[in-house]
Amino acid sequence: MKYIDEFRNLDIAEKLYRLIDEEAKDLRQVNFMEVCGTHTMAVERFGIRRLLPENVKLISGPGCPVCVTPKDYIDKAIALTAIDDIIVFSFGDMLKVPGTNSSLLKQRPSGKVKVVYSAMDAAMFAENNKDKRIVFLGIGFETTVPTVAASIKYAKKKKLKNFFVYSGHKIMPPAMKLLARDKHVNIKGFLCPAHVSAIIGVKSYNEISRKYNIPCVIAGFEPLDILQSILMLVRQVRSKKAKVENQYNRVVKASGNIRALRLIEEVFSIKDSEWRGIGVIPKSGLILSKRYADFDIENNINLQEPKTSVDKGCICGSVLKGIKTPLDCRLFFKKCNPNNPYGACMVSSEGTCAAYYRYRK
């Protein structure tokens, strides 16, 4: 695959592992945090962790949008499937997340839950099935938000009265700022998310890097991207610098994607948002703007407060912040595992706990 395989080259990877080893030798333990589910997956899939030196620790932060979606969102989504003419459309990622009593996967056989690759497919289904109300579960960070915004705009253009979005979208920089401030987490560098950055550009990271004196490298998803970015972070730490570098400059522009940003601004507004396991982070969530209120399911249906259960013993919050590892959780492995997940960190295949389960068992 062009522009992918070249960035998986074995010889260059081995060179990078060696350089990281050499240049990190005299450093004290450093924690580098990635905040992107796709980075978590890539690190696990390419077996990168095992080959890094002991003193360079890669922590997974709250970069998995599925993992940080509050339980009551799932409960409300499941409640929507019970309404006669409603079909819930979702990205596959959300299906296995446990709600209080069930999951969307368990509702799928009824035909009331459909998996799509694009929000646009849900909008087009609504266009061709006017007798049904289609609710799309809007989950994802800034990479996905513009695609959902474009689908909503399409629905407006086509004057659809039966297409809705239940927004659970969140934005990344406020969470990064929270983590940067947290002395427990002790982050010495951020691997910034590749495609979120393609949308938002470098501005947000400049603020974080300057204010909290933390090196930031925008990293692509291929093994060579991740390894080169780790090397760049190591070099910044050694030179006691803290700045923003763009390793993924073949895709990420410093200004980000202006059209996408404009569309997000048009279709969505910022609000406070609850992150599962972390709590409310101010101005970190997106809700449909007034102009697009007709497409917001929360304006059109009274989504009753479900009786959402509390996860006892689940320390996903600490794991998401990188303060604790899954090994510190007393539920991990015996009670909480991919077959019977308690918290979102285990459900999502890129959640830290799921990755640890696969990697350590």
Does position 84 interact with other proteins (CB under 8 A)? The reply is no
Which of 173, 223, 285, 343 binds other proteins (CB under 8 A)? It is 223
How far is it, in rounded angstroms, from Cα 120 to Cα 18?
45
String of contacts with other proteins for each residue 316-355, x by CB under 8 A: ---------------------xxx--------xxx-----
* CA neighbor of 200 nearest in space, from 218, 184, 185, 213: 218
Applying CB under 8 A, among 25, 55, 83, 92 the residue interacting with other proteins is 92
Q: How far is CA 55 from CA 21, 24, 227, 246, in A?
A: 9, 8, 15, 24
Q: Is 6 in the site for other proteins (CB under 8 A)?
A: yes
- In angstroms, the CA 31 to CA 347 distance is 25
| Least distance to other proteins, CB of residue 11, Å | 9
Q: Kindly tell me which residue out of 20, 24, 60, 63 binds other proteins, with binding defined by CB under 8 A.
A: 63
What one-character-per-residue DSSP string does 220-276 give? -SSHHHHHHHHHHHHHHHHTT---EEETTTTT--TT--HHHHHHHHHHEEEEEEEET
Residue 310 phi/psi, 5-degree rounding, is -100, 140
115 binds other proteins (CB under 8 A): yes
102 binds other proteins (CB under 8 A): no
Residue 44 near other proteins by CB under 8 A: yes
CB of 222 to other proteins, least distance (A): 8
Task: For the chain, give percent helix, strand, coil, nearest 5.
Answer: 45, 15, 40
Sites for other proteins among residues 230-289 (CB under 8 A):
247, 249-253, 257, 259-260, 263
Site membership for other proteins, residue 47 (CB under 8 A): yes
Contacts of 282 (CB under 8 A, 6+ apart): 174, 272
Among residues 3, 26, 111, 290, the one that binds other proteins under rule CB under 8 A: 3
Distance set, CA 50 to CA 7, 44, 115, 240 (Å): 19, 9, 34, 26
- Write out the H or E segment, with its range, that includes residue 283: strand 279-288
Smallest gap from residue 342 Cβ to other proteins (A): 14
Q: What is the nearest approach in angstroms of other proteins to the Cβ of residue 210?
A: 25
Residues of this chain, 136-165, that bind other proteins according to CB under 8 A: 140-141, 143-144, 146-147, 150
CB nearer other proteins, residue 2 or residue 307:
2
Question: Could you say whether residue 204 binds other proteins (CB under 8 A)?
Answer: no
166 - beta bridge partners?
Answer: 137
Number of residues located near other proteins, criterion CB under 8 A:
82
Nearer to other proteins, 210 or 259 (CB): 259
Binders of other proteins among residues 118 to 137 (CB under 8 A) are 118-121
Is the CB of 90 or the CB of 289 nearer to other proteins? 90
Which amino acid belongs to residue 275? W
For residue 161, what is the DSSP state? Answer: S
| 225 or 306: CB nearest other proteins | 225
Take residue 2 and report the two structure tokens written for it: 């062009």
Q: Does 9 bind other proteins (CB under 8 A)?
A: yes
Tokens at 352, concatenated = 């830290």
